[in-house]
Amino acid sequence: MAIWNLGSINADMVYAMPHLPAAGETLAARSLDRFLGGKGANMSVAATRAGSSVNHIGAVGPDGEWAVERLKAYGVGTSHIVQAVTPTGHAIIAVEPEGENQIILFPGANRALSQDQVDRALSQASAGDILVMQNETSMQAEAARLGRQKGLRVCYAAAPFNADAVQAVLPYLDFLILNEIEAQQLAQATGKQPGELGIKDVIITLGAKGARHIDGDTGAVSDVPALPVTPVDTTGAGDTFTGYVLSGLDLGLTVAEAMEQASRAGALMVTRRGTADVIPDLKEVQAARF
Ligand code: RIB
């Protein structure tokens, strides 16, 4: 099967900081590195490195050819990435020594996707393929609706979290991933617990405690523990986890097996500085000792 990812593409400017800047503070960075990023691009690279065939549906600006070329070099299908007149999205990312971050996002071309583009891309998808979205592009609900109509397995990574954005895609979802606080916010907005949303699979990431799967059909709950690592940069680790989970499902693993493998990939990722360019491949993930 294949994975179709309606996803953001950003230039990530990553600044190593002595601490995260406070309001009104001027603070010199210790270094600056540039990476390919965007939650969408990170997930496409992660799922490709995990072994899946991934088609990215996205947009860059006239300045974004490098990003398309890099995705292509990493094995991601790029024939449904268009060039918009708006500049390519970018992220200004501050990372402090313990690995925590702060991100300023300029959406740019990521908000320039059109219905026509989504229709054309998904006309090539087959029933049973996975469609994933995050909350950094336009056309999320439209793509989710079409994906459901076509019999795709519709997945949503609720990041950056916005309760309205999740509710717009909720009726079409087979799979939802979000963190613990976001799950509480969504429960407040909908009046329903994650297992009551009518979604087959919900994964709640629990930070240092690991991740939880809730089977929406049976109500069964199972946890995967986090692995012990010393983080240097947590940026993109959640995207790596999600990309690996989706690839695992795509390649026929059980949810538990996919989460276990994804947990290893996410743990390895937090020991690396950077985003899409440093996502580990399956061999590295399998060989890693924690
Ligand atoms: O999740 C990390 C990502 O968030 C970065 O790559 C940045 O581009 C933003 O989209």
Residues 49 and 250: beta-carbon distance below 8 Å: no
List pLDDT tens digits, range 32-53.
999 999 999 999 999 999 999 9
pLDDT at 207 over 90: no
Interval between CA 284 and ligand 1 midpoint (Å): 22
Q: Supply the pTM of this predicted model.
A: 0.97
Residues 58 and 27: beta-carbon distance below 8 Å: no
Find the helix or strand (DSSP H, E) in which 46 lies: helix 39-49
List pLDDT tens digits, range 211-242.
999 999 999 999 999 999 999 999 999 999 99
Tokens encoding 289: 């000792």
The domain limits of the chain are: 3-20+30-281
Q: What is the pLDDT of residue 208?
A: 84
- Name the residue of 6, 15, 239, 240 whose CB sits within 8 Å of the most ligand 1 atoms, as the mutation to test its pocket: 239
Tokens encoding 138: 């336009």
Please state, as a whole number, how many other Cβ atoms lie within 10 Å of the Cβ of residue 68.
21
- In the sheet where 10-16 sits, what is the strand order? 31-37, 10-16, 89-95, 101-106
The finding on whether 38 has its CB within 6 A of some atom of ligand 1 is yes
Tell me which architecture the domain covering 3-20+30-281 has in CATH: 3-Layer(aba) Sandwich (3.40)
CA 278 centroid distance within chain: 15
The finding on whether 37 has its CB within 6 A of some atom of ligand 1 is yes
List pLDDT tens digits, range 69-109.
999 999 999 999 999 999 999 999 999 999 999 999 999 99
Half-sphere exposure of 88 (CA within 13 A, CB side): 22
Q: Which is it for strands 130-134 and 3-6: parallel, antiparallel or unpaired? A: parallel
Interval between CA 37 and ligand 1 midpoint (Å): 6
Interval between CA 126 and ligand 1 midpoint (Å): 29
Q: Kindly state the DSSP code that residue 277 receives in the 8-state scheme.
A: G
